[in-house]
Structure 1
Amino acid sequence: MKIGILSDTHKKVKKAKTALDFLVQNGAEFIIHAGDIVEKEVLDLLEACKKKYIAVYGNNDAHLVTYHNKYHLVQEPYYFKLSNTKFKLMHLPFYMSRDAEVVIFGHTHQFEVEFAGGTLFLNPGEVCARNKPISECAMLEVLEEKFIVKYYTQKEKQEQYMLTKTFSYERQKSE
């Protein structure tokens, strides 16, 4: 299963649309937003992409609680299962225990990927391009035997996202 992952869109609705369109065009079957959505229009974009999705509240999203029942918004830490894999989703990187196979988070505006003790920790970076002159997103492919993470970036004047790096991790065999 291919999972498109983005975070920290903040007020950049056009950048969010570009990232979502790119992820869907590249085969995302499910979308995860790791918080700091900020604008309701980003929630509308998630709905419009016609893929199942989930979005976690970030520290700048309290005002979106009004829309909680209209969209697939969750509070952190949120546990769920996709493709026979246990996920934990949050915005703030405060619950970094290895109690899921995949831990997705945001907040730091920095792309991070680490595989430790059988758990994949993934932060897709920032879509908003606030802290650097690039917008970032990631695609996680969940296979029976491994995780493949593709990290994509888009420079300010670049037309589309480009593959920056690919990471592959062998999954632990369950007993």
Structure 2
Amino acid sequence: MELLLTTDTHVPKRARRLPAQLLAAVEAADVVFHAGDWVDEATLDLLAARAGRLVAVYGNNDGPGLRARLPEVAQAEVAGVRFAVVHETGPAQGRERRCAERFRGADVLVFGHSHIPWDTTAPGGLRLLNPGSPTDRRRQPFCTYMTATAEDGVLSGVTLHRLPPRTAG
């Protein structure tokens, strides 16, 4: 199963629209994970329409409409890999330990909030993935998203994709 991981899209506040490269990757994926901070419901509707399967949560910048439609924490099993999705995980220091305790039944945690790509493994094996943001690079050199493959209980091929700089329009 081909996976796409994204978060912190912030449309229309940080970008007018999602990058074309991201939308093409959404359509190519079997499952799309979004770890919150959509900002508008139209982006949720767009991804829900284009994704084969969407696993998503709300973030701290998401208002009542998105919070009514999405959970704070989502869990899903894909090809034998157990995923948890949440927006915020707290400070970087101690993140692996905190998340391993909070998400004991998961193999992989997809999270957002910082806009900083992250890929580590906690003691005990929980893989923590933050795909960064496809629309707001903040202090990072590029806007980003991730892809991966899940098969027979194994996550592999985790790749961080850099997006080209946005152009006006």
Distance 1:123 1:50 in 2: 19
- In structure 1, the gaps of 5 or more residues are 159-175
- 1:137 matches 2:145: yes
- 1:149 matches 2:158: yes
Higher share in strand: 1
Q: Judging changes above 3 Å, is the alpha-carbon distance between structure 1 residues 56 and 7 closer, same or farther for their aligned structure 2 residues?
A: same
Measured against aligned partners, the alpha-carbon deviations of 1:29-79 in whole angstroms (never above 9, x if no partner) come to 0111110010112112112214110210000113334761xxxx2222x22
SS of 1:96 mapped into structure 2: helix
Listed as ranges, the matches of 1:47-86 within 5 Å are: 47-65=48-66, 68=69, 73-76=70-73, 78-86=74-82
Pairwise CA RMSD: 2.2
Distance 2:128 2:143 in 1: 20
2:89 to 85, 89, 93: 93
Q: Judging changes above 3 Å, is the alpha-carbon distance between structure 1 residues 42 and 146 closer, same or farther for their aligned structure 2 residues?
A: closer
Distance 1:106 1:16 in 2: 18
Q: Which moved more, 1:57-66 or 1:35-44?
A: 57-66
Shift of 1:18: 4.0
- In structure 2, the gaps of 5 or more residues are 91-97
What letter corresponds to residue 119 of structure 2 in structure 1?
V
SS of 1:15 mapped into structure 2: coil
Q: Runs of 4+ in structure 1 displaced over 4 angstroms?
A: none
What letter corresponds to residue 78 of structure 2 in structure 1?
L
Q: Judging changes above 3 Å, is the alpha-carbon distance between structure 1 residues 106 and 66 closer, same or farther for their aligned structure 2 residues?
A: closer
What letter corresponds to residue 50 of structure 2 in structure 1?
C
Shift of 1:23: 3.6
TM-score (norm 2): 0.78
Distance 2:128 2:72 in 1: 18
What letter corresponds to residue 120 of structure 2 in structure 1?
E
